[in-house]
Amino acid sequence: MSKKILFAMALHNHQPVGNFDFVFEDAYQKCYKPFLDVLGEYPNLAISLHYSGPLLDWFGDNHPEFIENLKSLVKSGRVEIIGGAYYEPILPLLPSEDRIGQIQMQREYTKKTFGCDPAGAWLAERVWEQALVYDLAEAGVKYTLVDDSHLKFAGCRSEAITGYYITEDRGALLNVFPMDEKLRYFIPFRNPEETVEYLSGLATEEGDRLMVYADDGEKFGSWPQTYKHIFEDGWLRRFLDKITENADWLETVTLSDGLKRLPPVGKIYIPDASYREMMAWALPPEAHEELEDIEEELAKYGLFNRGRFFLKGGTWRNFQARYPEASEMYGKMISVSKLVSAMPAKSKKRAQAKKLLYQAQCNCPYWHGVFGGLYLPHLRQAVYERLIKAETIAGNASGKPNSVKFEVNDRNLDGHNEIEVDTGAARMAFKPNEGAHMFEYDLVDKAYNVLATLTRRRESYHRAVLANSAKASNNVGSIHDAVRLRDPSVAQKITYDWYKKESLIDHFFKQGTQLKAFSRCRFGEMGDFVNMPYEFDVKSDGPRTTLRMVRHGALWLDEGKRLLMVEKTVSFEDGKPDMAIQYTIVNEDKVPLDVDFGVEFNFALLAGDAPDRYYLAGEDRRNIGNLSTPVDIESTDAFGAVDEWKGVEWWLRFSPAAGLWAFPVHTASMSEYGVELVYQCSSVVPRWHFTLAPGRPQRLDITYAPVER
């Protein structure tokens, strides 16, 4: 064959910060190790590989022989190491200083470990914004990779883009390789012959074309059902054999070699984009469903392929709007980044804090799609743990006195002020504009945010589940192809909350409300206090600081509107994690009111059915079951949630005694294995019934006290 073509293969390998060690090990045994072992059998093939910082750290601690094997392949010239931001952040999420710092961290590791300076940078989730070009170039990056759809969104109309482009920002230049979509769907799910046939159709007499296959390395053994397909059934060896057999016209090159061998196809400016599935996931569920319907309608008329690159979906940043929990992590990350940046340059403490900050910028818990991401409690806690530790290091370095500190600012970047309180032992954050909720509680010594909760909300894939259209499949294929049910009972258990699962949520229940209805969020709420604005002020008196939050609201009864005032004060002491909470409820109307009042607390303790996490009731500490146990107690003066794994008990004490509900909060969320129920937190609700005479206050006291075991 006289025609020729260059073929660059690149694999991106990543596990998130905070993922379980057994997940790393399983991926190592099923994917990372066997792939490199097979690759070693083909000395004439070139490939570019990217490994994220969490993986490199784990390899170094657990399988240093893997690093040595990789070193030898790099030294032979057969493998190019692609750089990137070390802990795999979404770069637009970060301040420029952190973007550049993370990329330089990866460069330094690569130079020290593999003896080479990486020319390229993997772009996490291929999230692109044109302003990234300047920072990437500033960090020494020569090229990056995006989906070919990015370029088609910019107007490229070729079905296959056979080369790379150059782009620019503020005078800085960057080369961009497009990842061919057809190759991503062929490899490794179709017969190798189809890939070779496709590439042969693009070859030219001049040999002046380059095709890029780049995708997640986990496709090769870690994705469901792929280990058997790739290794036991021999797909990978058949594929590499087929490439080798056609080496006379199909030449494999690294991306850096491709950059040297060919000039750019042209110049381009790329709109904000990620891969097409990601941009659909970033849409609100209603819009996502509408996009799916439009695509289906276009397909009926044979117009989908022609029109799909004009149907762009949303942008990645929309996840910060879709999920307040992600926005709160992001807001805290930005706050901690500023603290770390203000630390003395080149100090050891700053280096420690910066590494923790960079780890907390790992992208996975900040969004959700076909992988669990934000829906995985241990990943959210991993982010908070590192942010809390970095914040503590930066705060200790400031030399400020150890009195209770508070700050009023827009911490979650929603246009409203929040209140942050730091006692030294605990850090809390409150949102007066939304029910005066407490939305963060960090136990500093444990580096644990017990309010890293998640609200049950609608997702676009619920439509298929609720319509009973999700079917199990044993076929090997892309995890984007179908909605699967990991638990057949999911459809019956899908529940949505109309308010966010935080703490200090003030409920006025319709009389007769039962635990089952409340736990499914199908209850009558009579007041306008749950998520409405409260006024606030903060006062300090020696070692004690008091946050006072007040709402003059109403109950909406069958007989009409009745005026009511709720005042809650939360008191803090220097060096203590406890909170003394006092409620004063006043009937501001002219007639007596019968009231069923409750205060909702939520505790994110990671594992609902683990034997080392359970409830205790009363001062006699009666064990009443694990955190998945529904609890309905007629009267108690104390209730505790125990976490032996973290070594802490979370206690609520009441005066007067309260009735109490507790129940687990499960989301129906997507993972690579299908839609499944995931424990997110436990709701604990002390309740009181009382009659309010006009003008007479009703006082309730609650102590919130974590106790280390």
- Cα–Cα distance, 213 to 184 (Å, whole number): 6
Q: Is the pLDDT of residue 483 over 80?
A: no
Q: Is the pLDDT of residue 474 over 90?
A: no
609, part of any domain: yes
Confirm whether 125 is a catalytic residue.
yes
Give the containing element (helix H, strand E) for 422.
Answer: strand 418-422
Q: Is the pLDDT of residue 469 over 80?
A: no
- Tell me: the pLDDT tens digits for 83-130? 999 999 999 999 999 999 999 999 999 999 999 999 999 999 999 999
What pLDDT, on a 0 to 100 scale, did the predictor assign at position 289? 94
What pLDDT, on a 0 to 100 scale, did the predictor assign at position 482? 52
Whichever domain contains 99, its CATH number is 3.20.110.20
Please indicate, yes or no, whether residues 274 and 296 belong to a single structural domain of this protein.
no
What pLDDT, on a 0 to 100 scale, did the predictor assign at position 402? 60
Please indicate, yes or no, whether residues 267 and 335 belong to a single structural domain of this protein.
no
Q: Is the pLDDT of residue 216 over 90?
A: yes
Question: What is the arithmetic mean of pLDDT over 477-498?
Answer: 74
Question: What is the arithmetic mean of pLDDT over 452-474?
Answer: 79
If one counts the domains in the chain, the total is: 4
Please indicate, yes or no, whether residues 322 and 337 belong to a single structural domain of this protein.
yes
- Cα–Cα distance, 528 to 150 (Å, whole number): 46
627, part of any domain: yes
What pLDDT, on a 0 to 100 scale, did the predictor assign at position 398? 55
Please indicate, yes or no, whether residues 306 and 322 belong to a single structural domain of this protein.
no
What pLDDT, on a 0 to 100 scale, did the predictor assign at position 487? 75
268, part of any domain: yes
Among candidate residues 293, 312, 331, the one where a domain is terminated: 312
454, part of any domain: no
What pLDDT, on a 0 to 100 scale, did the predictor assign at position 475? 45
Among candidate residues 294, 312, 330, the one where a domain is terminated: 312
Tokens of 378: 């241990």
Please indicate, yes or no, whether residues 470 and 431 belong to a single structural domain of this protein.
no
CA-based torsion, 678, 680, 681, 685: positive or negative: negative
Please indicate, yes or no, whether residues 216 and 334 belong to a single structural domain of this protein.
no
- Cα–Cα distance, 43 to 56 (Å, whole number): 24
Please indicate, yes or no, whether residues 199 and 329 belong to a single structural domain of this protein.
no
What pLDDT, on a 0 to 100 scale, did the predictor assign at position 466? 86
- Tell me: the pLDDT tens digits for 394-412? 987 655 556 789 999 999 9
Among candidate residues 449, 472, 488, the one where a domain is terminated: 449
Q: Which residue has the higher pLDDT, 352 or 478?
A: 352
Confirm whether 117 is a catalytic residue.
no
What pLDDT, on a 0 to 100 scale, did the predictor assign at position 496? 96
Please indicate, yes or no, whether residues 304 and 256 belong to a single structural domain of this protein.
no
Please pick, among 88, 125, 440, 676, the residue that the annotation labels catalytic: 125
Question: What is the arithmetic mean of pLDDT over 362-389?
Answer: 95
- Cα–Cα distance, 60 to 112 (Å, whole number): 13
Whichever domain contains 478, its CATH number is 2.70.98.10
- Tell me: the pLDDT tens digits for 617-671? 999 999 999 999 999 999 999 999 999 999 999 999 999 999 999 999 999 998 8
Please indicate, yes or no, whether residues 512 and 579 belong to a single structural domain of this protein.
yes
457, part of any domain: no
For residue 399, what is the DSSP state? T
Indicate the average pLDDT of the chain: 94
124, part of any domain: yes
Please indicate, yes or no, whether residues 380 and 485 belong to a single structural domain of this protein.
no
Confidence of residue 159 (pLDDT cuts 50, 70, 90): confident
362, part of any domain: yes
Write the CA distances from 172 to 21, 130, 199, 458, 578, integer angstroms: 41, 11, 33, 42, 53
Residues contacting residue 673 through CB under 8 Å, at least 6 positions apart:
224, 484, 486
Question: What is the arithmetic mean of pLDDT over 420-428?
Answer: 96
List the alpha helices (DSSP H) in 342-417. Answer: 348-360, 377-397
Q: Is the pLDDT of residue 255 over 60?
A: yes
- Tell me: the pLDDT tens digits for 510-552? 999 999 999 999 999 999 999 999 999 999 887 889 999 999 9
Please pick, among 168, 216, 589, 649, the residue that the annotation labels catalytic: 216
Q: Is the pLDDT of residue 477 over 50?
A: no
Question: What is the arithmetic mean of pLDDT over 219-233?
Answer: 94
> Could you list the residue range(s) of the whole structural domain that residue 369 is in?
318-449
Can you spell out the DSSP letters for 428-439? Answer: EEEETTTTTEEE
What pLDDT, on a 0 to 100 scale, did the predictor assign at position 476? 46
Please indicate, yes or no, whether residues 74 and 95 belong to a single structural domain of this protein.
yes
Q: Which residues pair with 173 in a beta bridge?
A: 168
Q: What percent of the chain has pLDDT over 90?
A: 88
For residue 349, what is the DSSP state? H
220, part of any domain: yes
What pLDDT, on a 0 to 100 scale, did the predictor assign at position 221? 96
Angle, helices 64-75 vs 53-62, to 10°: value is 120
Please indicate, yes or no, whether residues 673 and 566 belong to a single structural domain of this protein.
yes
Write the CA distances from 233 to 27, 221, 222, 238, 276, integer angstroms: 18, 11, 15, 9, 31
